[in-house]
A and B are shown apart, each in its own frame.
Chain A
Amino acid sequence: MSVVLCMDHVSFSHAGRIVLHDLSFGIRAGEMAALLGHNGAGKTTLLRLLLGLARPGAGQVLLEGRPMQAWSRREVARRIAYVPQGHVPLFPYSVRDIVGMGRLAETPFAPGLPRHDRDEVTQALHALGIIHLADRPYTQLSGGERQAALLARALAQGARTLILDEPETGLDYGQKQRLYALLQKLAAQGHAIVATTHDPLAAACVFGRAIALRQGRIMADGPAAEVLGPSMLERLYAPRETRPLE
């Protein structure tokens, strides 16, 4: 399968501190990659770079072989969907409204959602099994339901690459299993999936690939079951050295 999203010798600093140092890797269609590392290892920054929300200080991020900044926001939104950690807007949008936002890149100025887009939204709600929540205010959902709504929005967006930020946060055991099953199904259909996670044990079972990040560098990158072995995990999450990065 072809590489859809690729980091080419990317470095990134913020306020004089090196956050990411010379990262290179590619994500292929149909691949499920877990992104692991201690808090502050640079996972969130890496996601922002992959989404084109931040520009690398050195190197480049390539989407389908073209530099990220050469794409417009709408073009990126058609190719990459982002599932953030569930947060709540102030205004009580219904779940259907929230999922409908996934169609914004297609019809930004339409006075209402066109029929075709409404169908996409309904399909996405069915795929996540939350059609019964469609008219409930998003502000009143539980954490797991919110996560499902944001995932449905990502599906409605129609993008072939999904980027998820700690998707299992706040989910119970059953919800996690269903989330993983859905992600595996999407990968089998050819979606590329990148997710940060704080659960290496689940990642080892579910994800095909693991990228381990420690203090802004890639420590290991390979099949999840190998990367996430006991000795590696110990080194990955060991207390941080106080010595700053060169």
Chain B
Amino acid sequence: MRLRGLTAAALAIIVLVGLAVFSACIGRFAVQPAQVLHALAASLGLVAQADTPQAHMVHSVVFGARLPRIGGAICVGAALSVAGAAYQAVFRNPLVSPGLLGVLAGAGTGAALGIVWGLGPAGVGGLSFLGGLLAVACGVGVAHLFDAASMLMLVFGGLISSALFTALLSLLKYIADPQNQLPDIVFWLLGSLTQVTPHALGVMVGPVVVGIVLLSACGRMLDGLAMGDEEARTLGIPVMALRYGVIGAATVLAALTVSVAGMIGWVGLVVPHVARLLVGPCNMRVLPTSACLGGMFLLVCDDLARTLSVEEIPVGLIADLLGVALFVAVLPLLRRGWRA
């Protein structure tokens, strides 16, 4: 099945909006789809706001609690998936996840440091973001010490950086106060969207959208990169600039997701594969499709996290479990397309 162009884009938007409205309805306080749509229309000034206690309740539940979370889930899922697809293209390897160069380990360490220092949510998020960037810088730096042009050295650099920051994270867990800090760190590393405020969402949306557009615009050059570095250069592609530009943009996206929602790993590896099954291998289609599918996937995961039990389940856990199931389900289809 291959979907093309505008049809696919229209379909994706309809499904995404439908899912978002559905997600706004479900939860401890049930809301009817019509009420959600009415509240949305009212907030846009299209219809008059009903002045009943019921309407106010719906308004505060939908706008205060659920929509920021829904937006957060879509943004985080989209950013991780597009970052994963970009990493896979740059490293010419379908088994690469956004964590390859250490961004997840670094962001986790940064967040743990923030918690140990007793910073607020904004401080923890900021430190986490910086930690992610720092870890990738370390990985790339190690690669540069030996042979900057070699992709193998980049992978080794990432491995070293990941190991280093994972060790630092363990150290922080060890010295954290076991009564209140350690549980915070553990819960935070499981990944959760409970902390997404309208403000955090506002900070995140811009960079995520810009990142997705920028990476998608490089899609055709990334295809050329699949032919190998030297061949890509003869096709007129500035290989090193493209590689580091894409790694930089994908790293910022991945670090942003960790700073907002903690560690949600697998999405970035699995979703691009599903995207390739739907639209073929060309990155100018794979990247935006991955973003859409990733947003939908994490939204569904978060709905399950909110509703499966009375206590909220960390969304990272659900995403990992569902991601594994999805990967096993599509693996037979993938094998057919690969050289193997």
Q: A interface vs B, CB < 8 Å?
A: 48, 51-53, 73-74, 76-78, 80-82, 84, 87-94, 97-98, 100-102, 104-105, 107-113, 137, 139, 157
Query: How distant is A136 from chain B, measured CB to nearest CB, in Å?
Result: 12
Query: How distant is A149 from chain B, measured CB to nearest CB, in Å?
Result: 11
Q: Which 4 A-B pairs have the closest CB atoms?
A: A105-B236, A77-B236, A91-B281, A82-B234
How far is it, in angstroms, between the C-alpha of A110 and the C-alpha of B337 when the chains are bound? 26
In the complex, the answer to whether B227 meets A104 with C-beta atoms within 8 Å is no
Q: Does B202 interact with chain A (Cβ within 8 Å)?
A: no
Chain A residue nearest to B286 (CB atoms) is: A91
In the complex, the answer to whether B234 meets A81 with C-beta atoms within 8 Å is yes
Chain B residue nearest to A74 (CB atoms) is: B236
How far is it, in angstroms, between the C-alpha of A63 and the C-alpha of B116 when the chains are bound? 61
Known contacts A104-B220, A110-B220, A89 near B227 by CB under 8 Å? yes
Pick the most buried of B93, B237, B281: most chain A CB atoms within 10 A of its CB.
Answer: B281
In the complex, the answer to whether B339 meets A139 with C-beta atoms within 8 Å is yes
In the complex, the answer to whether B236 meets A84 with C-beta atoms within 8 Å is no
Known contacts A97-B281, A112-B284, A89 near B234 by CB under 8 Å? no
Chain A residue nearest to B227 (CB atoms) is: A89
Q: Does B183 interact with chain A (Cβ within 8 Å)?
A: no
Interface string of B271-295 (1 = CB under 8 A from A): 0000010001110100000000000
How far is it, in angstroms, between the C-alpha of A100 and the C-alpha of B223 when the chains are bound? 10
Q: Give the residues in chain B near A98, CB-CB below 8 Å.
A: 227
Query: How distant is B160 from chain A, measured CB to nearest CB, in Å?
Result: 25
In the complex, the answer to whether A91 meets B226 with C-beta atoms within 8 Å is yes
In the complex, the answer to whether A84 meets B231 with C-beta atoms within 8 Å is yes
In the complex, the answer to whether A48 meets B230 with C-beta atoms within 8 Å is yes
Assign chain B's interface to a size class.
20 to 34
In the complex, the answer to whether B218 meets A97 with C-beta atoms within 8 Å is no
Pick the contact of A111 from B93, B235, B236, B284 — CB < 8 Å?
B284
Query: How distant is A90 from chain B, measured CB to nearest CB, in Å?
Result: 6
Given A91-B337, A109-B217, 17 more A-B residue pairs with CB atoms under 8 Å apart are: A48-B230, A51-B230, A53-B233, A53-B234, A73-B237, A84-B231, A90-B93, A94-B280, A97-B280, A97-B281, A101-B223, A102-B235, A104-B221, A109-B218, A111-B284, A113-B220, A139-B338
Q: Give the residues in chain B near A89, CB-CB below 8 Å.
A: 92, 226-228
In the complex, the answer to whether A73 meets B226 with C-beta atoms within 8 Å is no
In the complex, the answer to whether A92 meets B338 with C-beta atoms within 8 Å is yes
In the complex, the answer to whether A80 meets B228 with C-beta atoms within 8 Å is no
Query: How distant is B232 from chain A, measured CB to nearest CB, in Å?
Result: 8
In chain B, positions 221-276 with a C-beta closer than 8 Å to chain A are 221, 223-224, 226-228, 230-231, 233-238, 276
In the complex, the answer to whether B223 meets A93 with C-beta atoms within 8 Å is yes
Q: Does B141 interact with chain A (Cβ within 8 Å)?
A: no
Q: Give the residues in chain B near A113, CB-CB below 8 Å.
A: 220
CB-defined A-B contacts under 8 Å, sample of 10: A51-B234, A53-B233, A53-B234, A81-B234, A92-B337, A93-B226, A97-B281, A100-B220, A104-B221, A109-B220
Chain A residue nearest to B340 (CB atoms) is: A90
Interface string of B89-109 (1 = CB under 8 A from A): 000111000000000000000
Query: How distant is B15 from chain A, measured CB to nearest CB, in Å?
Result: 21
In the complex, the answer to whether A90 meets B92 with C-beta atoms within 8 Å is yes
Known contacts A53-B230, A97-B281, A111-B284, A91 near B94 by CB under 8 Å? yes
In chain B, positions 193-217 with a C-beta closer than 8 Å to chain A are 216-217
How far is it, in angstroms, between the C-alpha of A102 and the C-alpha of B223 when the chains are bound? 11
Chain B residue nearest to A112 (CB atoms) is: B284
In the complex, the answer to whether A108 meets B220 with C-beta atoms within 8 Å is yes
Q: Give the residues in chain B near A82, CB-CB below 8 Å.
A: 231, 234
Known contacts A108-B221, A110-B220, A101 near B339 by CB under 8 Å? no
Q: Give the residues in chain A near B93, CB-CB below 8 Å.
A: 90
In the complex, the answer to whether B282 meets A78 with C-beta atoms within 8 Å is no
In the complex, the answer to whether B92 meets A73 with C-beta atoms within 8 Å is no
Pick the contact of B339 from A76, A80, A88 — CB < 8 Å?
A88
Chain B residue nearest to A106 (CB atoms) is: B236
Pick the contact of A97 from B223, B276, B339 — CB < 8 Å?
B223
How far is it, in angstroms, between the C-alpha of A185 and the C-alpha of B10 when the chains are bound? 47
Query: How distant is A162 from chain B, measured CB to nearest CB, in Å?
Result: 11
In the complex, the answer to whether B236 meets A93 with C-beta atoms within 8 Å is no
Pick the most buried of A91, A98, A100: most chain B CB atoms within 10 A of its CB.
Answer: A91
In the complex, the answer to whether B217 meets A104 with C-beta atoms within 8 Å is no
How far is it, in angstroms, between the C-alpha of A89 and the C-alpha of B230 when the chains are bound? 13
Q: Give the residues in chain B near A51, CB-CB below 8 Å.
A: 230, 233-234
In the complex, the answer to whether B337 meets A137 with C-beta atoms within 8 Å is yes
Query: How distant is A74 from chain B, measured CB to nearest CB, in Å?
Result: 4
Known contacts A87-B228, A97-B223, A104 near B276 by CB under 8 Å? no
Query: How distant is B221 from chain A, measured CB to nearest CB, in Å?
Result: 5
Q: Give the residues in chain B near A88, CB-CB below 8 Å.
A: 339
Chain B residue nearest to A108 (CB atoms) is: B221
Query: How distant is A159 from chain B, measured CB to nearest CB, in Å?
Result: 9
Pick the most buried of A78, A80, A97: most chain B CB atoms within 10 A of its CB.
Answer: A97
